[in-house]
Structure 1
Amino acid sequence: MKFLDLQKVNAVYATDLKRIAAEVIDSGWYLLGKYVKLFEEQLSFYLGCKYTVATGNGLDALRLILRAYIEMGVMQEGDEVIVPANTYIATILAITDNRLVPVFVEPDEQTLNLDFSLIENYVTNRTKAIMLVHLYGRCCWGEQVKVVARKYNLKIVEDNAQAMGAKSHICGLSGSYMTGALGDAAGNSFYPTKNLGALGDSGAVTTSDEELAMVVRALANYGSEKKYYNRYQGFNSRMDELQAAFLSLKLKYLDIENERRRVNAETYSILLQNAELILPQQAGEEHIWHQYIVRSSKRNQLQNWLQKQGVDTQIHYPLPPHLQECYPEYNHLSFPLTERLSQEILSLPISSYMGKEELTIIAEAINSFAE
């Protein structure tokens, strides 16, 4: 059983996707056209923010936000960004690519998201932002974050790569309850495996800050607001028309697909009975279950057992960013909880196309594991 079968993910849309592809091809316009504009408008409406700037991928979206803040004078090289220690490497790359300094903070062991109670301990006179990661699809938001951000005049940047469609029960800064519109700005990814996935790379910056949106848009287009006139030393990071058209179609069904994932997550939590496992918390609309994460001190043995039973699983993530070879300057740091989680976490197959029969087969294989 595949961990994720993208053919099945897109099969339900296949006829419309092929029709849309033909329309884009026949239009003769493949970048910065009507389909990108339409998707930007639709995503802003869906999230409840004022501006969306489509980008080439999710990493670029985060990079562009921080670079825009530097161009705007909000940040400068050497400033610090508070970030969870247990995130994916892309979150950290966005910070260091802009010659900013990541300040790692341990997660909450129950939610696996940033531990809000620790944030203020890491604020210095160089801190300029808190980067929240809605890890595995669970909303990372709370009043404590808003209070600390206001107290120290910090920007709140969301890494919303994994949680498109999740909702907070606490209102965001601009009045929205949706991840991607809670903080000052958000980087979003539409990599094919995401809940809202393109058929290639693409991403978006979402914000209600008009100046930030304008600077990001220029930076993503070679730093140009007017063709051949470059205000900034920018990038080339633009969503193409084909991906925008695909995403425009799939956005209409996102809430339905996310609800199917919630049902599947609840089913897992009922069926899984192995005492070796720590199961994830249910969190209602705050979780869209990009991944269903279980924990076990015998994770590697469990993964090998499931592989023998024909069940494919993955580890998100086996080595934290501060221990990666590309960051020798941080290898000496110690984050015990983050490091323990990296040895315990196992991602089970979960998607909108799966039914109870498949979940039962996986659960029975797990329940039969004994080491």
Structure 2
Amino acid sequence: MAEVSPAHGEPTRGERGDVERRGLAVLEGSYDEGSFTGVLRQPRSQADLEAARAAVASCPVHALRLSPPAARARSAGALGAPFRTWPRRIEDDVWALGHPSDKNFNATAYFIERPGGGVLVDLPRPSEAVFRFLEEHGGVRWIFLTHRDSVRHHAEFAARFPGCRRILGAADVNLRGDEHNEATGDVEVQLRDRPGPMTLEGAPLADAELAGAELAVFSQPGHTAGSICLLYRGRFLFTGDHLAYSRRLGHITAFRLQCWDDWERQTRSVRRLAALAEAGHLRFTWLLPGHGEWHRLEGDGGARATASELQRTVAWMERQAPGHVPRHRFVPWVQSRTSPRSLLARAVRAIGGEGPGSEVWVLPRAVRAHVPDHRPEKDAPALL
């Protein structure tokens, strides 16, 4: 596919606390001023083009565009729907389902195929094609919801697979539902935060039992208060929006700009994972996030290699500013950038002034340096 990467680099804080950036050799003209992403390599084959179209369809804020040259327009049109060749097997009995739902912010959903019914990790867009695939591969016994942003359609999937049990962090349960989230008060398993690993039903697992556990759950609050991760056979870690892999940084990272609960709490959560790996109990080879590319880590997949990866993540997280980003400030910032001609965008720019970075004042000061076109002089209008 067209390789997409941060156009301006993610900021980190140096020893003196100042913000540092590293640029990337993205293709000229492949991103707009202030964009988070640019293109490293254009599609070179039909398979590349299919993957690029899937990436475009998956972007929750429509930040990617695919504009094939006129000579290739006919072949591009013949490709069909972006996810017509999905689901895709990642390895062994683990699948990426594709068919993302915009109601779940186009997060990637996964399926673990198991005798007696598999585990659906987060939810794709419901369709007969998806239901048929799941039925043909043993059905669904568990629906594992990593956090509150990925719960849309849970009732529809539960109705299609009677007897399946839904799992969600208790702190992310929404009793009434709202414009962003479905009500989840009827979820069968609501997991409380606890420092150690647990079973799908929430029973404690001893640290030493992790190596032999087929499935283990970790409470990992921070991105949201009820974020949870799932470990399968000591090889696959499903992280939702808690952790992802950064190709630019070359290690596992987290989303500071989309931290809804508390960054320091999220850092402590990852520190708990690192401690388990350092003690020889936790290992994984595949990192499977809701947003970002799935990634096979280098090394032998043992506890020592896992500990090294997570230690780098913790060190990076500790260099970022503490705090969180309130939704009521993040949403208008995103909308002002994705719909620049809207009334909201014009109002935001009227306060912040025209030009690059005029919307950044909406965000908390602690995260503004994470915006590629941040201009400190644009901070003046912000009273918050």
TM range (shorter): 0.3 to 0.5
Bigger proportion of residues as helix: 1
TM-score normalised by the chain length of structure 2: 0.32
